[in-house]
Structure 1
């Protein structure tokens, strides 16, 4: 079983840290607020989510709504709305009157969410009867290739992104909105937690699972799709304590 070393110099912050005003300023400079199709809060939600996954806000780092609103030149209301949505998604955590920060996702949480994710994906492939449009299959193949290339280059965040996009391509096919929203939330938590594990997950098992699932969906073989998802359940999460 081959594993790749974790990102050098990247550490999970296990204790609360002081607000870095320079972070709010830096992220704000990269955010473009538009109201053409989305509300300011929705736009900001998407921008902050991207910033979190890109590592511009690190796990455990506080997000100051006052500083962010000031840097963006907007009121605190849309900032609070965006942060609340991120909290509901699971990538931000808060304690009233104490802090709002990027969630610190433990290995045990990644493991538990991965188990839930497997059950949700099985429900999805059952719903679509393993029948996937050619366009979606092409997208999944592109992300699978990008995933393998990111592994070769050792880019952990790119690996997490392409794996996320691979399965997101499939999850968009459901017409069950509660199922879609739950899968989306679970996948974002796993994606955030995966880059702060003490080591990478078994890449060979993950890559093989993608391959098996693609083959099954290309053949519209529901039984084979179930086996592919069962294969993905074999992935061990580094650092997760075993249950007794």
Structure 2
């Protein structure tokens, strides 16, 4: 079990979200390992909260596929299967494409510049062969696009899935090199963002996923 530092002293509504965020982050970074059993009392004591917000957070994580529960038997972190990795990459591929399609039409100039900066960070990480940085850069870019959709329903659904995506995609691979074909796709996406061409941005995202991700 991770050693949580710092007690949580928040309003009841924010407390539940904070507990959820702490546990989810520990699962994503591996502090809670796949298959590891979790005791709500231990987490509650570590965070200085009652067991209720911990139980609510665990139930929420169960719905998202990060936790599995068996009444009166166990609560544990789910194992990561190859099928789960493939499904997560597929979900991320389409969600990122849709996010780009909506966001590109609605961005102001400052947001457009920021999206291009994040895209260049991803390109650089891939070119350097740094998979961890590439994943981090991808999620920074993805979540920025989600926010720029200005669609609260899309944003809520996607954010509910973000921890499962991060954990599962961490087990997959991003390409370690940017060849001429991939470089051309990045250029195409940059042009689409700059010209507010939503359909072209979406298609470029789909093709970039196909070119830079692996299920191995």
> Shorter chain as normaliser: what TM range?
0.7 to 0.9
Say yes or no: does 1:44 pair with 2:29: no
The counterpart of 2:174, out of the listed 187, 196, 201, is 201
CA deviation string 1:222-242 (max 9, x = no partner): 232132123134145333xxx
Shift of 1:172: 1.0
Contact 1:91 1:189 in 2 (8 A): yes
Shift of 1:86: 2.3
Contact 1:58 1:102 in 2 (8 A): yes
Say yes or no: does 1:78 pair with 2:53: yes
Task: Summarize the Cα distance change of 1:170–1:109 in structure 2 as closer, same or farther, 3 Å threshold.
Answer: same
How large is the RMSD of aligned CA atoms in angstroms?
3.1
Say yes or no: does 1:220 pair with 2:174: no
Query: Greater helix share, 1 or 2?
Result: 2
Shift of 1:171: 0.5
How many residue pairs are counted as aligned between the two chains? 211
Give unmatched runs, 5+ long, in structure 1. Answer: 1-22, 240-244
Task: Summarize the Cα distance change of 1:119–1:170 in structure 2 as closer, same or farther, 3 Å threshold.
Answer: same
Contact 1:69 1:75 in 2 (8 A): yes
**TM-score w.r.t. structure 1 length?**
0.70
Indicate the structure whose relative CO is greater, using CA pairs within 8 Å and at least 6 residues apart.
1
CA deviation string 1:51-105 (max 9, x = no partner): 2233322233222111111223321101111222222333333333332223323
Task: Summarize the Cα distance change of 1:150–1:60 in structure 2 as closer, same or farther, 3 Å threshold.
Answer: farther
Task: Summarize the Cα distance change of 1:55–1:108 in structure 2 as closer, same or farther, 3 Å threshold.
Answer: same
Distance 1:43 1:119 in 2: 28
The counterpart of 2:165, out of the listed 187, 190, 193, is 190
Distance 1:72 1:43 in 2: 10
Give the corresponding residue for 1:238.
215
Shift of 1:43: 1.4
Task: Summarize the Cα distance change of 1:177–1:97 in structure 2 as closer, same or farther, 3 Å threshold.
Answer: farther
Give the corresponding residue for 1:12.
none
Say yes or no: does 1:178 pair with 2:153: yes
Give the corresponding residue for 1:242.
none
The counterpart of 1:161, out of the listed 136, 145, 155, is 136
Q: Which stretch of structure 1 is more off in the superposition, 147-156 or 172-181?
A: 147-156
Contact 2:29 2:167 in 1 (8 A): no
Contact 1:172 1:180 in 2 (8 A): yes
The counterpart of 1:139, out of the listed 114, 117, 125, is 114
Give the corresponding residue for 1:59.
34
Give unmatched runs, 5+ long, in structure 2. Answer: none
Contact 1:216 1:224 in 2 (8 A): yes
**TM-score w.r.t. structure 2 length?**
0.78
